[in-house]
Amino acid sequence: MKLLIQRVKSASVIVEGKTVGEIGGGLLVLVGVSHDDTASDAAHLAKKTANLRIFDDNEGVMNRSVLDVGGSVLAVSQFTLYGDCKKGNRPSYINAARPERGRELYDEYVSQLQAFISQVETGIFQAEMEVSLVNDGPVTLILESTGRK
């Protein structure tokens, strides 16, 4: 799995003109699933997301997690994180999971995340989404499950 995590002051996702997920301060997480990923990867990255220390403490040092600050998470599926642009100008998505498997592991990641964080909002899997955010920092990180075994 590959996550693009952004610390935000607010974020929302709109589908067909309707807001389906919205948070105040916390994390916007774009979630990509590859065909090699497992439920164990989803659980590992959910725990890592919840405990990632990227919020400032009283001394201005990034030493607090989204849990510590009482923040929320907006998780949005994003298969294009596995776009390979090495050859030509058109990305190849051969490394992205098939939609059925992608949905299963995206849902597993969200479910695992909800065990840690009280407010987890989502987009709609495979929908055309408009994602808005007010980046805080900006702080943007990529987490991957590859190589952790």
- 6 is annotated as an active-site residue: no
Q: Which of 19, 38, 80, 126 is catalytic?
A: 80
* 113-118 long-range contacts, CB within 8 A, separation 24+: 113/46, 113/49, 113/50, 113/73, 113/75, 115/46, 116/46, 116/47, 116/50, 116/51, 116/67, 117/50, 117/66, 117/67, 117/71, 117/72, 117/73, 118/72
- 126 is annotated as an active-site residue: no
Q: Which of 6, 49, 78, 112 is catalytic?
A: 78
- 55 is annotated as an active-site residue: no
Q: Which of 55, 79, 112, 122 is catalytic?
A: 79
Residues marked as catalytic:
78-80
